[in-house]
Amino acid sequence: MKLPHSVSQLLMEAKTTLSEHPKLLDMFTKCYPNTLETTVKLLDDQTAFVITGDIPAMWLRDSSAQVRHYMPLVAEDKELQLLVEGLIRRQIAYIHIDPYANAFNEEANDNRYDQDLTELDAWVWERKYEIDSLCYPLQLSYLYWKETGNASLFDESFRAAVTTIISLWRTEQRHTEQSPYRFARIDCPPSDTLRNNRMGMPVNYTGMTWSGFRPSDDACTFGYLIPSNMFAVVVLRYVEEIAAEVWADAELVRLAAELREEIDFGIQTYGTFLHPKYGKIYAYETDGFGNYILMDDANVPSLLSIPYLGYADESDPIYRNTRRFVLSEDNPYYHEGKYAKGIGSPHTPPGFIWPISLAMQALTSRDDAEIRELLDMLQRTDGDTGYMHEGFDPNNPTNYTRPWFAWANSLFGELLHRLMLRGFFK
């Protein structure tokens, strides 16, 4: 699509702001508009279908993250407003079709990744249930409202979707006893399917809400995924504000607040671990029976991204301890090589680092020296393409996965724009 005026104007401004950083300027002018130039389709019903890049489907998560960096421009740009509003309307329609699904088709064409053993719908590309799939559209809608003051999106369809989300998260607080969700994939790696008769391993009641899969689309080992529960706490706070200020719905405010408090209690009570080296840190996953996974994954929500999500401040002591852990070799997915050091994911080859994690590390840092080091890494590891990728070999950055991965481009664009706004490059 043709670039909206505000985006074109920002790219022109960048030529001055980044004039002494030609490599960063080249990367910014390629990455920042990438979502608009390559992944957006405006449909006849005035909704927007946003693919993730090299896969012809729309993820609720990715489509939200791919446009978040445009929020600072949206208030004064009607073209961007139409795009974001159209995307949100389509996301809400998809949630009504199947709130357990993570990715959808443009049409009801029965296209999908695999013939999984779960309830299938012609609209659904993949039905891996992930908490963050429901968080991201709520976050995007709230941020859009705050930037524009336009509450027209919060119509009855949106309100019904919120009710559906709260009900689902309530059900998944007691997954073993109450959940209708089942999922299995045949002839696949273990990370693509759920154990225990398609239900996942048993979990104990904690107040948190269960997730079958991580934002990487890999299966959870233990069902309480801490970063995604943190994201749920944040967006439930948004729901409380919308319900109070837009709908004047005291009952919905109560329901959202009650659920938020229960999930947050579960995080603080069951989701922390007293580490002998780092002190009290957040675990990545737990089952409520005393089992933990201590790690972090590059995909967002992550433990590294806690301040970016809005769950806790960068100065929070448990976050500081957790950050030291996840940015160390004690995190099994932290890697170092000749050209970079940072967090990767079991979703990509062993030893690979993700540009998303490097950008997130910079977005959650208060240390300008650390940010400069990360910018240098991002410039060294683009594989001489000017774009971000999914993951790369830190000893050979020309060896990378997914040459067209719009979420990573958007997050890099957001990082550069934030630094430009605060005068980092002066």
Tell me how far apart the terminal alpha carbons of the chain are, to the nearest angstrom: 33
426 located within any domain: no
Q: Residue 133's domain is classified under what CATH number?
A: 1.50.10.10
DSSP bridge pairs for 401: 391
For residues 166-185, one letter each, b for 16 or more C-beta atoms within 10 angstroms of the residue's C-beta and e for the rest, the string is bebbebbbebeeebebbbeb
Q: What is the pLDDT of residue 426?
A: 83
| 153 closest CA partner among 237, 246, 41 | 246
| Distance from C-alpha of 226 to C-alpha of 201, rounded to nearest angstrom | 16
Q: Per-residue pLDDT tens for 179-211? A: 999 999 999 999 999 999 999 999 999 999 999
397 located within any domain: yes
Q: What is the pLDDT of residue 1?
A: 75
Mean pLDDT (whole number) for 302-308: 98
298 located within any domain: yes
| 412 closest CA partner among 48, 111, 27, 67 | 27
Mean pLDDT (whole number) for 98-121: 97
| 112 closest CA partner among 55, 63, 191, 60 | 55
Average predicted confidence (pLDDT) for the chain: 97
Q: How many domains does the chain have?
A: 1
Q: How many CA atoms lie within 13 A of 113 on its CB side?
A: 22
Q: Per-residue pLDDT tens for 389-406? A: 999 999 999 999 999 999
342 located within any domain: yes
Mean pLDDT (whole number) for 364-377: 98
316 located within any domain: yes
Reported confidence tier of residue 2, pLDDT bands at 50, 70, 90: confident
How does strand 341-343 pair with strand 391-393?
Answer: unpaired
293 located within any domain: yes
Q: Per-residue pLDDT tens for 237-262? A: 999 999 999 999 999 999 999 999 99
264 located within any domain: yes
Distances (CA, A) of 200 to 131, 210, 365: 15, 10, 35
For residues 17-50, one letter each, b for 16 or more C-beta atoms within 10 angstroms of the residue's C-beta and e for the rest, the string is bbeebeebbebbbbbbbbbbeebbeeeeeebbbb
17 located within any domain: yes
Range of the domain at 187: 5-421
The answer to whether 413 and 31 are in contact (CB under 8 A) is yes
